[in-house]
Amino acid sequence: MDWEPGDTCYRWHANGMLAEVRTPDGKVVSFGYDALGRRVSKQTGDT
């Protein structure tokens, strides 16, 4: 399956943790984790 305009794009770290989400309207949400794998930050913004 290929990416197409209008799709939501998910990017994952090698360890399986969600790194980033890009929505069709251009919003980007990035996630940060601590050494134990707990989500400790969430950043939002537009591309």
Q: For position 1, what pLDDT does the model report?
A: 60
What pLDDT score was predicted for residue 3? Answer: 72
Residues 7-24 pLDDT 10s = 999 999 999 999 999 999
Euclidean distance between the first and the last CA atom of the chain, given in angstroms as a whole number: 24
φ, ψ for residue 44, nearest 5 deg: -120, 150
d(CA 15, CA 12): 8
- pLDDT at residue 47, rounded to an integer: 53
pTM confidence score: 0.77
Kindly provide the residue ranges of all beta strands, DSSP E only, lying in the chain, ordered along the sequence: 9-12, 18-22, 27-33, 39-46
Is the pLDDT at 42 greater than 80? The verdict is yes
